[in-house]
Structure 1
Amino acid sequence: MKLVPDTSVIVDGRFLEFLQSEEVEEIIIPEAIISEVEHQANRGMSIGFSALSDLKKIREVCEQRGINLVFCGSRPEEWQIRRAREGEIDNIIRECASQSGATLVTGDSVQRHIAEIKGIPVIYLEQKKIVKMRIEDFFTSETMSVHIKADVGAFAKRGKPGEFKLVRIRESISPEEVEEIAYDIVERARRDERSFIEMDMKGATVVQLREYRIAITRAPFSDAMEITAVRPIVKLALEDYNISEKLRRRIEERAEGILVSGSPGAGKSTFVQAIAEYYASLNKIVKTMEKPRDLILKDEITQYTALEGSMEKTGDILLLVRPDYTIFDEMRTTSDFKVFTDLRLAGVGMVGVVHATRAIDALQRFIGRVELGVIPQIVDTIIHIEKGSIAQVLTLRYTVKVPSGMHEEDLARPVIEVRDIEEEKLLYEVYSFGEQIVVVPVKEEEKGIYKLAARGIEEEMRKLFPGLRVKARVVSDNRAKIYVPSPAISSVIGKRGKRIADIEELLGISLDVEPLGSERASVERIEVEVEMKKKTIRLHVGEHLAHSKVSVFADTHRLFDVTVSREGYINLRKSTANGKKVMEALRKGEIIYVVPL
């Protein structure tokens, strides 16, 4: 019997196993198969190396059993390689079988039917099951991920999201063993209907093998062959999270643009799985966009990946499908954020997953990619996950106002307010400042309205006490401190406190009277790092004060006022008056610090 195998039965070992039980006179290998396998191996694709390994084993069997091994045909043309997906290579293999009077052996059902239509004898091999050293053997019930590297060994992360430890589970592992494990992974992913080869590029292969997300790397991409496998060990429902009734109502009724943020391994994917299944339980149509598809979800939730390698094309399909909610797992590139934006503006409820160490950092991923005024229409809720739990929830609101810390009415502009959902406390403001979009932390004592109120109190005090030096600071909605020269305190308070009581009634706020000068002890003092350069001095203040106006102090005396750069530092030329003041203070050994204005 003459046999012509095609690529489908070579790459997964089915043809090799078939040879063990059949009497074969001659095996004919089309040059098209050799060309295809060589091309895949040269690109560093795992499937190519698997096929090379099996071709060598086929030759060994032929030599042992005296089977004639020949090659037929010629290498395919470039246009045939480009159209391999349309069946050009398969057609070359069928022609080889037909011209040789041999039987075609295939595991591809389409190839089988075409051969039968053309009258070519064909043997169809069902998918086979093999038992080898498998990636699952390295996992225990508490193992989150396994990291295998040739000649180094195998390590496992054990524990739960945010609380795990890295342990060595194999002292050494040979390149051959690693290759065998990779071979098994790729084979099973090709056969299993619930597994996928998500990406196969030169030096890197990404596989979703059931619940295992696996990355296989080899030279030249990595210095040695390596396998990293990740598996979710916890599956929770939304009820398992300690969420408030306010957050639950928001997720169910109002939130339609949710960002779930957290550092790698914090438990983001586990949480979005819970949200996806919660929405499905409310009779909503839920889809996912994942690359790779590694969320473990009910069968009712369809999981999409990048269509022809493009999430934009997946988004186009979803615009036609129009689900109620879409889970976009792991947004990284600008195109991902644009797809999220397009779907959200089209009316689809979106839940996006992003890597971020703070909740506000997730919002910053949109800045520069999307117009500022559109962001609140896209994102209304940010849920930050740490150690498998909800650490912070922020909400967004768009308004027009004078940003906190500014005083002039004509400085009003569109501002995105970022608030804590539980306390409704204003934490950040996002607005345009010159040509930049800035994210400014807001402290309660520095709120713009407080500063405006303090100015009003100072004006009223000067009307009541002409010529009085006075400084006011509002510390809460119903209390303020006023600072006057020590000799004037008794006059301001009055006999038995009657005058200050009248002033409090007039202003509608409780007042504490303190000596002028003591207000410096109650404001934030930030010591700075001084960096000396050839012609300049750089004072490192911190990015949290970027674009803020501060007073620079040396010990107890103020040197000057200045605005901090967007990078969080103050640059001074040594030859300027301010530079000389700092130089002199440093020469005297005085401590340099700043106080926000």
Structure 2
Amino acid sequence: MSELSPDYFVLDTSSLILGHRGIPNFEGKVTEGKFFVPLQVIRKLKEMREKGLGEGRIGLNELSKLKEKGVEVTCPFDELDTRLDPDEAALKLASERGATLLTGDTTLKRIAESIGVQTELVSVGKKSKTRLRDFFDGETLSVHIKEGMKPMGKRGMPGDWEFVPLSEEKMSRKEVERIIGTILEEARASEESFIEIERPSSTIVQLEDIRTVITKPNFSEALEITAVKPVKKLELSDYNLPESLIRRLRREAEGILISGRPGAGKTTFAQSLAEFWVDHRNVIKTVEAPRDMQLSKGITRFSKRQGTREEIHDILLLSRPDFTIFDEMRHPEDFELYRDLRLAGVGMVGVIHSSTPLEAIQRFVGTLPFGEIPSVVDTVLFIEGGNVNRVLSLEMRVKVPHGLTERDLSRPVIVVSDFLTHEPIAELYAFGRRVFVVPIGEGRRQKGRDENIELSPSIEVRGTTLVFDFRRKAAGESVTAYIEGDQVFSGKVGKSGRIFLSFKKKSRFRRFLNAYKSGRLKFYRKY
């Protein structure tokens, strides 16, 4: 190695990606020093950019920024050795020139120091706030940016939002690329942000509390950014759940599904449930893809993308959590992993997309043996408009399936019941090699409405409390309320002939009030 030249510096791939802001005493080095970049490093950055990877674009842009700042950067073409990878080339160049190696790779730093090459570690630079944050305010659920279109956003609360333009100006391709660049830079500069998945055609970034999905041509016809941010972090008490359901969630339920349509508030409820269990001294883990849940530090979060099914299985069994929350179950292997862990004795919560709670159960039919279903799933919570709309329980019985009459057709039947009313709403049974899912509650519920009496209470608004007055003659009667066919309340009329419904969430309050005013809120007295 030649005599040490402290004014000579070699930049490797990682240092260019991290940026000059992370170089210690950068201004002093610019004034006094000379910078070298191996050709292999430039080639690697070029290849990364051609594959659509953000690091390549950032690294090449950093070279341009260095030139703009008057930095003398030299690429020694005469020392090209195609047998060396970029890191080896940077190490060799620093050794031969007696230069200081600037790297963000701690492993390369240790190797360089072990052979006598002076190194300095490039850290993440000062965090810059991306323009993406400018589109968010206290009521914005998500931001949708696409080249050639006006930036749009969902404003409001889950289940009660409007899709509105956030600017009157259309976004050019350069503007969208600039925002993407700042997103990737901030993800690398912030300890609370990370790039979850990066492919040539798409990138998923967790930007602190903002989940960002970036798609590029030719996967999408144009550049697009979709960013989702939680508006409010709720506690389980904010959902006004019945005490019987809270008791089941705390002590009895071990195979839980949280279902609902996209954007209904499933992940928000899962977060509340996780924190509830932590408050009651339970060990909680999560499996996420991407890791976008907002949880306390005491909850360990695993990435399904970064670990194999076997690794996640082994780690969760050895770490012995009381409950594991599996966010965004979509693929067959997700259901298999859920099943394996549940049958191994791990309490499981799966977050799943479905239009009805019954459809969430049907997702497991064919994925696992029929007899295992009630052992794997015992409770289904359906989230709609940010609220727990319905709760179902599953149990296995031996009986004649609903709709059949012959006694010799008795067989194991999975009965799906409404947890609060204990009324069966569907049955699952095997006939030959097929599994049939037979709804029985919808017809029964409609029949019950025909036989029972519809009530027409008056309403009084007291802040965020709705007072429904049924008159004293209805005192003690059992009343069930529906909004467009979905049961939203069941209880008894008080001695004064009134029912008081208090709401902590304004969106739920508005939903009930608007449904009453439009005639969509129906009350029925049950016998």
| Band of TM-score, shorter chain | 0.7 to 0.9
How far did residue 223 of structure 1 move? 1.6
Give the match's secondary structure for 1:126: coil
Q: Give 2:279's match in structure 1, choosing from 273, 278, 281.
A: 281
Q: Give RMSD over aligned pairs.
A: 2.5
CA contact (8 A) 1:150 1:178 kept: yes
Amino acid at match of 2:40: A
Residue 147 (structure 2) pairs with residue 141 (structure 1): no
Which stretch shows the higher mean deviation, 135-144 or 2-11? 2-11
Q: Structure 1 residues 59 and 117 mapped into 2: Cα distance closer, same or farther (>3 Å)? A: same
> Hey, what does 2:221 align to over in structure 1?
223
- Label 1:254 to 1:32 Cα distance change in 2 as closer, same or farther (>3 A): same
The AA in structure 2 aligned to 1:211 is: D
- One-letter code of the match for 1:176? K
Partner-residue secondary structure (3-state), 2:292: coil
2:15 partner amino acid: V
CA distance in 2, matches of 1:38, 1:20: 27
Q: Which residue of 1 aligns with 2:162?
A: 165
Give the match for residue 288 of structure 2. 290
For residues 299 and 188 of structure 2, what CA distance do their matches in structure 1 show?
A: 23
Partner of 1:468: none
Change (3 A) 1:301 1:14: same
Q: Which residue of 2 aligns with 1:156?
A: 153
- Post-superposition Cα deviations, 1:95-128, rounded to whole Å, max 9, x if no partner, equal 2211233221123333333322221122333332
Q: How far 1:13 moved relative to its partner?
A: 2.1
- Counterpart selection for 1:426 from 417, 424, 427: 424
1:347 is matched with 345
Compare 234-243 and 98-107 and name the one that shifted more: 98-107
Whether the 8 Å CA contact 2:53–2:199 is kept in 1: the answer is yes
Q: Which stretch has the larger CA shift, 327-336 or 22-31?
A: 22-31
2:50 to 22, 28, 42: 42
1:28 aligned partner, one-letter code: F
TM-aligned CA distance change 1:6 to 1:145, over 3 Å: same
Q: Distance in 2 between matches of 1:306 and 1:71?
A: 43
> Equivalent residues in 2 for 1:239-258 (5 A)?
239-258=237-256
Alpha-carbon distance in 1 for matches of 2:22, 2:375: 58
Select the residue among 4, 9, 15 that pairs with 2:15. 9
415 and 396 in structure 1: CA distance in 2 versus 1, 3 angstrom threshold? same
1:303 to 301, 304, 323: 301
Structure 1, unpaired ranges of 5+: 81-87, 448-474, 480-597
Counterparts of 2:291 and 2:373, CA distance in 1: 27
Equivalents in 1 of 2:72, 2:328: separation in Å?
A: 54
Structure-2 residue corresponding to 1:114 = 111
Q: Any idea what the Cα deviations from partners look like across 1:217-271, whole Å, max 9, x if unmatched? A: 1122222211111111121111111211221111111100000001011000110
Partner residue in 2 for 1:321: 319
- Within the candidate set 335, 338, 343, 1:337 is matched to 335
Larger radius of gyration between Structure 1 and Structure 2: 1
Quick one: structure 1 residues 309 and 219, their matched pair in 2 at CA, closer, same or farther if it must change by over 3 Å? Answer: farther
Letter in 2 for 1:430: L
Q: Aligned to 2:388, which of 383, 387, 390? A: 390
Distance 2:75 2:329 in 1: 50
Residues 1:94 and 2:91 aligned together: yes
> In the aligned structure 2, how far is the partner of 1:145 from the partner of 1:228?
7
Q: Give, in angstroms, the shift of residue 133 of structure 1.
A: 4.2
The alignment status of 1:200 with 2:211, answered yes or no, reads no
Match of residue 496 from structure 2: none
Q: Is the 8 A contact 1:29 1:70 kept in 2?
A: yes
Whether contact under 8 Å (1:25, 1:67) holds in the other structure is no
Give the percent of matched residue pairs that are identical in Structure 1 and Structure 2.
Answer: 42
In the alignment, the residues of structure 1 paired with residue 205 and residue 352 of structure 2 have an alpha-carbon distance, to the nearest angstrom, of 21
User: What are the superposed Cα offsets for residues 472-517 of structure 1, whole Å, 9 maximum, x if unpaired?
Assistant: xxx99xx9xxxxxxxxxxxxxxxxxxxxxxxxxxxxxxxxxxxxxx
Q: How far apart are the structure 2 equivalents of 1:58 and 1:290?
A: 38
Cα separation, 2, equivalents of 1:175 and 1:444: 51
What is the rounded CA distance, in whole Å, between the counterparts of 1:335 and 1:380 in structure 2?
20
Kept after mapping to 2: 8 A contact 1:133/1:180? no
Distance in 2 (CA, whole Å) between partners of 1:349 and 1:16 is 44
Q: Check 1:221–1:126 CA distance in 2 against 1; reply closer, same or farther (3 A cut).
A: same
How does the TM-score come out when normalised to structure 1? 0.69
Q: Report the TM-score when normalising by structure 2.
A: 0.78
Q: CA deviation at 1:177?
A: 2.2
1:358-394 CA distance string (max 9 Å, x none): 0011111111111110011000000000000011100
Query: Could you tell me which of 31, 36, 45 is aligned with 1:28?
Result: 36
Report the CA distance shift for 1:65/1:99 in structure 2 as closer, same or farther (over 3 A): closer
> What is the rounded CA distance, in whole Å, between the counterparts of 2:183 and 2:78 in structure 1?
31
Provide closer, same or farther for how the CA distance between residues 383 and 20 of structure 1 changes in structure 2, counting only shifts above 3 A. same
Task: Report 1:356-367 matches (<5 A).
Answer: 356-367=354-365
2:327 is matched by which residue type in structure 1?
D
Give SS of 1:105's match. strand
Q: 1-side partners of 2:278 and 2:93: how far apart?
A: 52
In structure 2, do the counterparts of structure 1 residues 65 and 358 end up closer, same or farther at CA, with 3 Å as the change threshold?
Answer: closer
Shift of 1:339: 0.6
Q: What's the CA shift for 1:25?
A: 5.5
Decide whether the 8 Å contact of 1:382 with 1:394 is kept in 2.
Answer: yes
3-state secondary structure, aligned to 2:395: strand
2: distance between equivalents of 1:54 and 1:176? 17
Give 1:469's aligned residue: none
How far apart in 2 are the matches of 1:76 and 1:300?
Answer: 48
CA shift at 1:46, angstroms? Answer: 1.7
- Tell me if the contact between 1:144 and 1:157 (Cα under 8 Å) persists in the aligned partners: yes
Q: Does the 8 Å CA contact 1:103/1:122 hold for their aligned counterparts? A: yes
- Aligned 8 A contact 1:35 1:76 in 2: no
Q: Distance in 1 between matches of 2:336 and 2:73?
A: 58
